[in-house]
Amino acid sequence: MSLPESSIPKQRARSGSPWTGLGAVIAKEMADHLTSARMRILEILIVLTAAGTVYAAMQNLRDSVSEDRFLFLKLFTAAREPLPAFVGFLGFLVPLIAIALAFDSINGEFSRRTMSRILAQPIYRDALLLGKFLAGFFTQALVYTAIWLLIIGLGILGLGLPPSTEEVARSLIFLIATIFYGGIWLALSMVFSTIFRQTATAALASIAVWLFFMVFWEIIAGILAQILSPVYYGFQEEILRQSIIGLTLSRFSPTTLYAESMIALLNPAVRSLGFVTPIQLQGAILGTPLPLDQSLILIWPQLTGLIAATILLFALGYVLFQRQEIRA
């Protein structure tokens, strides 16, 4: 005998768009980021770093020849003892800023016992996780854009001339690459914030991965290249093959991808990011700057890798978060 249809319990269907409340999450999280004490400390640190390194760079550039076509780009790369170049500080500060923004984005809600309350509202997990990621991403973009404008403004005041169109375009693409480089560490921190319930553990895991790629990965890539392609007789082909394998392995590090993008964008004289044989140099006019489109072709794999790594890490965090059990 079949039961009446009205007595059979029906599974509650998901109603509405999964992105309902996304804007509210982004606005709330960005407000928290921009008004938090740790963000203000990081902002002050970056502003002081930018002002100090740009001032030191301008002291060197005033002695440079006026015929230099890319004088403004040297504001990012020129150094003067004891301060390194601004891009050297960025490679160190960007991951730390991203980790500081996201290491407690998920587990912080659990520790405060607010996750179930948030999801009890008409906000789905999709909108919550994407909103937290975009809030951190937009906060980074806002901070780095402000620093970029500060450097351009200081350069105009200090050098007494405006940047060229190509200089603005190169520095703007460099800004975009920096934002996505930070996006990688932001997404990675969110992954660890989803896996670990303790915020300190998530922060330490994120910093450990950053130190691994910054300090140890180059050494490991060199050792793996020697194992995968040993040099038996010292032939040029063997040495070149081992070097190519080592360079390929080192490019699995986001730090290497970002560094190569930075070099090609801010130094137009760079014509290759790999190994160049003497045969390939035949007919090349050394010292001639590459146009912007050629530099973009040169670093297109690096830029694609930075964007792809950001998307893949966010997708991993999304899958892990969707599978978590949340209880009131």
User: What was the pLDDT predicted at 63?
Assistant: 61
**107 lies in some domain:** yes
**256 lies in some domain:** no
**88 lies in some domain:** yes
Q: Which of 86, 90, 56, 70 is nearest to 158 (CA)?
A: 56
CA pair distance 205, 199, nearest whole angstrom = 10
Beta bridge partners of 80: 83
CA pair distance 244, 249, nearest whole angstrom = 9
User: What was the pLDDT predicted at 13?
Assistant: 46
User: What was the pLDDT predicted at 3?
Assistant: 45
Q: Which two tokens stand for residue 286?
A: 């050394």
For 316, the domain range is: 19-210+309-323
Task: Indicate the DSSP class of residue 41.
Answer: H
Q: Which of 65, 115, 60, 104 is nearest to 83 (CA)?
A: 60
CA pair distance 239, 226, nearest whole angstrom = 10
Token match 């999964």: residue? 18
Q: Tell me the DSSP string of 135-167.
A: HHHHHHHHHHHHHHHHHHHHHHHHHSSPPPHHH
Please, what are the averages of pLDDT over each run of 10 residues along the chain (328 residues)? 43 59 87 85 81 76 63 77 75 88 86 80 84 92 89 82 87 92 94 90 93 91 88 77 87 91 87 60 60 89 92 92 75
**229 lies in some domain:** no
Q: Tell me the DSSP string of 224-241.
A: HHHHHS--SS--HHHHHH
What is the domain count for the chain?
A: 1
SS in 3 state form for 82-135? CECCHHHHHHHHHHHHHHHHHCCCCHHHHHCCCHHHHHHCCCCHHHHHHHHHHH
**274 lies in some domain:** no
**77 lies in some domain:** yes
CB atoms within 10 A of CB 196: 18
**185 lies in some domain:** yes
* C-alpha dihedral sign at 121, 203, 47, 169: negative
Q: How far is CA 322 from CA 37, 77, 104, 125, 197, in A?
A: 31, 43, 17, 7, 15
Q: How far is CA 130 from CA 100, 114, 190, 283, in A?
A: 18, 17, 11, 50
**1 lies in some domain:** no
